[in-house]
Structure 1
Amino acid sequence: MTGILLSLHVIAAILAIGPVAVAASMFPVASRAALADPDSASVATTGMLHRIVRVYATIGIVVPMLGIATAVNLGVLGDLWILTSIALTVVAAVILTAVVLPAQRLTMAAIEGTGSVVDVATRLTRRLGTATGIFNLLWLVVVVLMIFRPGSTTGV
């Protein structure tokens, strides 16, 4: 059962968190292009990237659920590396839901001409790039913790 849970956890992380990381990273560049030229194809691209982040972020909820189930099954839920991973995952989720997605929504509103001023949206895309970078860095640390578990027998 542990092997199945671990496999599902890894597959879910690759298929759900991967697209969020990539699309969220591409969004600021595409949105700046869309803000500069609202008639360009980058408007559609920006909308698609925002949709990918929204949908896959929702699907991504399954990743920590499967991770916790796997940790319980392995009997390592109380280990420091797991608790650290859970804490980093919570921080990443907060950044995604409280910073990245709202900033993307505001930027999309500016691009579509229904929201904020373009200058504000342009400044927002800079902050969005930073927030996305932090989100991705947190996931990188979690992945490293999952591979090189402290006290594990993987050779580290």
Structure 2
Amino acid sequence: MGKVLLSLHVVAAIILIGPVTVAVSLFPRYAGVALGTGGAKATGVPVLLHRISRVYSVAGLSVPVLGIALAVQMGVLGDPWVVVSLVLTVAAGLVLALVVLPEQQKAMDLIADPDRGPIDTGGWAGRARRLSAASGVFGLLWVVVVVLMVVRPGSTTGV
């Protein structure tokens, strides 16, 4: 059962968390292009990236659920590397839910507004920087979690 849970956990992380990480990192750039031109061609990319961010983030909740089940099965749920990984996972989820997705939605509302006129580039530049920074923090948190999952500092599981 452990190998099945491990396989599901790793596959879910790759297929679900990876695309969200890429989508949130690319969104500020392509939203800026869409806001600058307002053309139909330019709006398709941020629409897709925002959809990936929203849909895959919900599906990505399966990754920590599978991880917790695996940790329980392995008897390592209380190990520091697992606890720190869970805390960082919660932090990444909060950054995504409280900063990244709401900022993406604000940009999508601007992109979708047919009467918006020219966008104040200074205002968007500041918002894009905040969104890029939050996206970077989100990605960095996942990198640290992956390293903890591979290295398992202090683990006695033999790997």
TMscore range, shorter length: over 0.9
User: What is the match of residue 9 of structure 1?
Assistant: 9
1:35 and 1:122 in contact (8 A); partners too: no
Greater relative CO, 1 or 2 (CA 8 Å, sep 6+)? 2
How far apart are 1:115 and its partner, in Å?
9.5
User: What is the match of residue 132 of structure 1?
Assistant: 135
Aligned partners of 1:150 and 1:99: how far apart in 2?
31
1:88 to 2:88 alignment:
yes
User: What is the match of residue 29 of structure 1?
Assistant: 29
Aligned ranges 1:92-131 → 2 under 5 Å: 92-113=92-113, 118-119=119-120, 120-131=123-134
CA gap 1:2/1:114 in 2 versus in 1, 3 angstroms: farther
2:54 and 2:101 in contact (8 A); partners too: yes
Aligned partners of 1:115 and 1:146: how far apart in 2?
48
Alpha-carbon deviations, 1:10-32, whole Å to 9, x = none?
00000000000001111000011
SS at match of 1:41: helix
How far apart are 1:147 and its partner, in Å?
0.2
Number of aligned residue pairs: 154
Q: Which runs of 5+ in 2 are unaligned?
A: none
Aligned partners of 1:23 and 1:56: how far apart in 2?
10
Aligned partners of 1:115 and 1:109: how far apart in 2?
11
Q: Which runs of 5+ in 1 are unaligned?
A: none
Identical amino acids, percent of aligned pairs = 49
User: What is the match of residue 154 of structure 2?
Assistant: 151
Q: Which runs of 4+ in 1 moved over 2 A?
A: 114-123, 151-154
Equivalent position amino acid for 2:66 in 1: L
2:81 and 2:154 in contact (8 A); partners too: no
